[in-house]
Structure 1
Amino acid sequence: MFTLYQIVRNPFLVFRMISLPVALVIFFFALVIHECAHAWMASRCGDNTARYAGRITLNPLPHIDPIGTIIFPLLLILSRSPFIIGWAKPVPINPLNFNDPRVDLARVGASGPLSNIGLAIISSFLVWIFTYLPMGEIKNSLIIILLFSVLINLLLAVFNLIPVPPLDGSQILSGLLPTHLAIRYETIRPYGFIIIFFLLLSGLLWTIILPVVQLLYNILFLWVGRGF
């Protein structure tokens, strides 16, 4: 049995302690917020395509992507991966409607991962609050759920920042590159899923994202001491 201090300081223990149904609820909620952020930012930048398509909604159904929301996470679960990651249906956008097409494309791409980082910060703040409340075992259960929320949101943020289509990192990079380089870069889009599955099966995916997730997690929980 792990102490609360050990769990907070060794975040990936949480994946061994949380039930699959609870994990999936948190996972889908994080994905929905992620996609809502894309749609909202696109609307702020002058493109209401996603708004008219009904993508600014907490209803998960419009956001489900067969591969990223169902098949990819299911493969991770069946392969006994300790982590769950994925992506939702890309938000429809029309860059021609943007106020500044190149910059706004990057803004829309960045808004999803930033929303997950925001959720991670909120969850870590709630962990800090709950540690000072006398709630017994209920408190411990809530803290474990919140720690999982921190981790899943950091995982989704870092994973989606990988610059491989259809992940957000590719949209950010495409928006920041000079036009001639962006056009050449977009030629890898048809092979994006192949690259992602190669990274997963080779183990390189975790090698890339886990150190970054661990670093961000440690920053969020610098306040934790042994007296905790």
Structure 2
Amino acid sequence: MGEFDLVQQILLAILPVLLALTLHEASRAYVANHLGDNTPEIVNRISLNPLRHIDLIGTVLVPLLTMITGFVFGWGKPVPIDPSKFHNPKRDMLWVASAGLGANLIMLLVWAILLKLGYSMPVTNDYRTPLLGMCGAGIQINTVMLVFNLLPIPPLPGAQIAISLLPPSLAQPLQRLEPWGMFIILGLMLTHVLDAILRPLIKLVYTLVAMLI
């Protein structure tokens, strides 16, 4: 999105960011409710209304600040989930954790297809350049969310998936890290270790998507 100034980048990223965060959280809420936990329904989180999923810091402030660093990043308000209401908590948490990741993967592929269609439009078309910019933002935010959320750090979905798949001897120590998870993530961000981890993985996803589309 280098051809756009900061204000234009923000405007073009609004729809992709809202869709990425809303569908990620709404998917988790729907699957949790389907598997027996009605907590998301009680708090009105089974909804495509972005206002119900917006987190002031993660949805507004962080995406604006990360645009300066070169890639858009953010998160929505976590969906409250009560695993004790599931019929099989370990298995069902795997599906809930995978739901949000699946939503981001689907949106990533949709934005990539739209990007390819955009490049096929005549250069003289007034909608071509903003469409390409919006598609680029959509690919970026969904890729970053997908890769970041796959990290095995509680309470991220990647850790929930690992806990569901690992034997108890390995799952329990990982689960005990959850109270410290956000501090670990913050530390990785401040020391730029998180950036060093994410960038190669993001490039790998870009390469794979380019091969598929």
Structure 1 and Structure 2 fold alike (TM over 0.5): yes
Q: Which runs of 5+ in 2 are unaligned?
A: none
Aligned equivalents of 1:223 and 1:179: distance in 2? Answer: 37
Matched residue pairs, number? 209
1:168 is matched by which residue type in structure 2?
P
TM-score (ref. length: structure 2): 0.86
Which residue identity does 1:96 align to in structure 2?
A: S
Question: What residue in structure 1 maps to residue 49 of structure 2?
Answer: 59
Contact 1:15 1:82 in 2 (8 A): no
SS state at 1:19 partner: helix
1:68 to 12, 33, 58: 58
Greater Cα offset, 207-216 or 80-89: 80-89
Match of 2:152 among 138, 153, 163: 163
Q: Is the 8 A contact 1:15 1:148 kept in 2?
A: no
> What is the CA deviation profile of residues 152-172 of structure 1, one whole-angstrom value per residue up to 9, with x for unaligned ones?
111111111111122211221
- The corresponding residue for 1:32 is 22
Deviations 1:63-115 (A, max 9, x none): 233553355445535xx322221222221222222232111101111111111
CA-CA distance at 1:185 after TM superposition: 1.7
What is the DSSP-based 3-state SS (H/G/I as helix, E as strand, rest coil) of the residue aligned with 2:171? helix
Per-residue CA deviation, residues 17-51 of structure 1 (Å, 9 max, x unaligned), is 35223324421221111001101111232222212
Report the identity percentage.
Answer: 35
> CA separation in 2, counterparts of 1:154 and 1:53?
28
Quick one: structure 1 residues 130 and 196, their matched pair in 2 at CA, closer, same or farther if it must change by over 3 Å?
same
SS in 1 for 2:127: helix
Cα distance in 2 for partners of 1:106, 1:155 equals 20
The counterpart of 1:130, out of the listed 108, 113, 118, is 118
Normalising to structure 1: TM-score of the pair? 0.81
Q: Is 1:139 the counterpart of 2:125 in the alignment?
A: no
Q: What one-letter code is carried by the residue in structure 1 that aligns with 2:157?
A: D
Alpha-carbon RMSD across the aligned residues, in angstroms, is 2.3
Instruction: Give distance in 1, aligned partners of 2:118 and 2:60.
Output: 33
